[in-house]
Amino acid sequence: RSAVHGIDDLMVQHNCSKDGPTSQPRLRTLPPGDSQERSDSPEICHYEKSFHKHSAAPNYTHCGLFGDPHLRTFTDTFQTCKVQGAWPLIDNNYLNVQVTNTPVLPGSSATAT
| pLDDT tens for the chain, residues 1 to 113 | 566 667 777 778 777 776 766 666 666 665 555 444 444 544 555 555 555 555 666 666 776 766 667 777 777 777 777 777 888 878 888 888 888 888 878 887 777 76
Position 26 in a domain: no
* Domain count for the chain: 1
Structural domain of residue 101, as residue ranges? 1-15+83-113
Position 50 in a domain: no
The Cα–Cα gap between 103 and 51 comes to 45
Position 53 in a domain: no
Nearest to 62 by CA among 52, 75, 50: 75
The Cα–Cα gap between 47 and 61 comes to 13
Position 42 in a domain: no
Position 9 in a domain: yes
Position 105 in a domain: yes
pTM, rounded to two decimals: 0.38
Position 34 in a domain: no
Position 29 in a domain: no
